[in-house]
């Protein structure tokens, strides 16, 4: 069971709403919403899970400033302070959320107990095995920002493009899981406020990565990576974990960037082991 809340202009959901439980705050990835992390949250019944929609996505209003990494980090600080927690929370970020979570932790190291990065963006986007796809995505979002508003909305919300992204990232051969992932992406991947938000957030996602903040993060950190991740390959994840003063890497086999959909049980198990 989960409950819906609002803090200022941020919509967030609480799972296992018991104030006596340790808190995990989860930050979703680019174009996602809190829905993407629900399968993991549902398996962490001994923790109070708090998942906001990022500003400009889902039910959270856009920021009054830009949607740069710095602005998202400042938003996250305001959000965590506003929760008035009595104990330091564990912070988790998936994909683009890993960039925000690591950027936040490097700036506010004394405000969280531990850090979990799921499928972290551990290298510059244009250096990965899908560099050509990244260049196409840059062109796609550039056109989305330049086109007239009505056309831009249809262009950026194209079901065909969403299905292509979904197919490229999905590694499972299980038909039901494939169907679920495709439905989730079609249902939630176009719930951004407008083209300005999605364009700025995309720029933040490709211009930054976890590597730049890693050496400044002293809290215990867990990296969870799929061995078939095309966005940050495993070799780069192995390099990334060595940049942290206090981090370990958990590798999940036969999965790519969508561990939160394809192997949420293994992700939850790794989180439990790390925290306990």
Q: How many other CB atoms sit within 10 Å of the CB of residue 127?
A: 12
User: Quick one: pLDDT at residue 150?
Assistant: 84
User: What is the rounded distance in angstroms from the CA atom of residue 166 to the CA atom of residue 160?
Assistant: 10
What pLDDT shows up at residue 126? 63
Ranges of residues in the chain whose predicted pLDDT is under 50: none
Tokens 């919300």 belong to residue: 157
Contacts of 160 (CB under 8 A, 6+ apart): none
Which strand (E) or helix (H) includes residue 198?
Answer: helix 195-207
How much is the pLDDT for 36?
97
pLDDT attached to residue 130: 64
Using CA atoms, how far apart are residues 253 and 66, in angstroms rounded to an integer? 38
Which among 91, 131, 151, 130 is positioned nearest to 230, based on CA atoms?
130
Residues 6+ apart with CB under 8 A from 245: 215, 217, 218
176 CB burial (10 A radius; 0-12, 13-18, 19+): exposed
User: pLDDT tens, 219-245?
Assistant: 999 999 999 998 999 999 999 999 999
**Domains annotated on the chain, with CATH:** 2-275 (3.40.50.1820)
Residue 180 tokens, joined:
């679920």
pLDDT at 176: 96
Q: pLDDT tens across 170-196, in order?
A: 999 999 999 999 999 999 999 999 999
Structure tokens belonging to residue 267: 């992700």
């Amino acid at each position: 069971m989960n409950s819906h809340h609002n803090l200022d202009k941020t919509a967030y959901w609480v799972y296992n709403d018991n104030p006596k439980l340790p808190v995990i705050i989860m930050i979703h990835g680019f174009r996602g919403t809190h829905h993407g992390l629900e399968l993991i949250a549902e398996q962490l019944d001994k923790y109070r899970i708090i998942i906001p929609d990022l500003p400009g996505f889902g039910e959270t209003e856009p920021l009054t400033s830009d949607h740069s990494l710095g602005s998202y980090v400042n938003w996250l600080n305001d959000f965590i302070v506003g929760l008035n927690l009595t104990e330091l929370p564990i912070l988790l970020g998936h994909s683009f959320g890993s960039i925000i979570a690591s950027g936040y932790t490097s700036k506010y190291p004394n405000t969280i107990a531990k850090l979990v990065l799921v499928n972290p963006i551990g290298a510059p986007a244009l250096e990965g095995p899908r560099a050509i796809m990244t260049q196409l995505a840059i062109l796609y979002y550039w056109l989305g920002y330049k086109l007239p508003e009505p056309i831009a909305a249809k262009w950026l919300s194209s079901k065909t493009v969403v299905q292509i992204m979904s197919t490229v990232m999905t590694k499972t051969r299980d038909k039901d899981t494939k169907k679920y992932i495709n439905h989730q992406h079609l249902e939630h991947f176009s719930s951004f406020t407008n083209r300005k938000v999605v364009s700025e957030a995309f720029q933040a996602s490709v211009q930054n990565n976890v590597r730049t903040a890693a050496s400044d993060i002293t809290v215990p950190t867990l990296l969870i990576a799929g061995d078939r991740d095309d966005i940050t390959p495993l070799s780069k994840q192995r390099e990334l974990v060595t940049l942290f003063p206090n981090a370990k890497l958990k590798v999940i086999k036969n999965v790519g960037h969508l561990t939160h959909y394809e192997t949420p049980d293994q992700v939850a198990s790794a989180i439990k082991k790390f925290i306990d």
